[in-house]
Amino acid sequence: MELSFTVHGRSCDLALHPVSKKNAQIVAEHGSGIYAMKQMNWWRKGKTNTWGMRIDQDCAIIVTLDGKPIDVDRSMITRNPVKIRRRIYLESKAKYIAVLGYDNEVCKFSWRWDNITHFDQSQFEFMVHQWDRIMGEDNYFILDDIRYGGNFANEHHWCEAKGFTLIEPKVIDLEQVRKEFQDNGFIENKGTSFPAPSIKNFPGTHGTRRDSKEIAAQA
């Protein structure tokens, strides 16, 4: 049998990129204007980005077996957010990270597995990131990938993209995040947003989201 898992909603391409004090100040001072600076276009380069689908009340989830829809418990998708990438930042020497990219491109992600002999929804494994405190929004889940029965999908498709607008960039003070970890022995996924740097004369962010067509025109 053929198993298909499809999410139709908002996709995101977000980067958590280590930055120096100087670049942290540039991000805060220029706001969305940094997207026009080619040297600041980190969210499309390197290995610091997280690309996936937002799992929220607005997204549609369709699971089929040989083309026939089947019911699944969608709460299992966000039940156990992964914490794999957290150590990359906490154990680094970086003092600040910039949050850049977009999170509102309407599109469709589909995963397909072949030769399924028996369906059991408990065999799904979801790689989901919870970014409540990074993005300042409750229940901010990003679906990165899915396995079924321990196997990645035979095919993975991304389609029907409608365009996006870029988020207002922000900077997170990693030293304060590390202090929280040292004090508590863990970091909560939920709660107040991670703190911005307490740099002297550090300006607040400003600006507006920029449309993908505007960015393409400057590329």
What global pTM score does this model have?
A: 0.83
What whole-number distance in Å separates Cα of residue 213 and Cα of residue 219? 10
Q: Report the alpha-carbon angle 34-195-97, nearest 5.
A: 45
| Low-confidence winner among 24-28, 35-39, 42-46, 171-175 (lowest mean pLDDT) | 42-46
Segment 141-156 shows an average pLDDT of 96
Residue 192 backbone dihedrals phi, psi, to 5 degrees: -70, 155
If one compares 74 and 198, the residue with the highest pLDDT of the two is 74
Q: How far is the C-alpha of 133 from the C-alpha of 12, rounded, in Å? A: 16
d(CA 128, CA 172): 21
Radius of gyration of the chain (CA): 19
Q: Retrieve residue 90's tokens.
A: 């906490």
Three-state DSSP state, 184 = helix
Q: For 75-111, what is each residue's pLDDT tens digit?
A: 999 998 876 556 667 777 888 988 989 999 999 999 9
- The predicted pLDDT at position 206 comes to 42
Q: How far apart are CA 143 and CA 131, in angstroms?
A: 11
Name the more confident of 31 and 216: 31
Residues 43-76 have pLDDT tens digits of: 566 666 788 999 999 999 999 999 999 999 999 9
Q: What is the pLDDT of residue 49?
A: 74
Neighbours of 133 (CB within 10 A): 21
Where are the chain's structural domains? 3-214
Count Cβ atoms within 10 A of the Cβ of residue 117 and give its class: 0-12 exposed, 13-18 middle, 19 or more buried. exposed
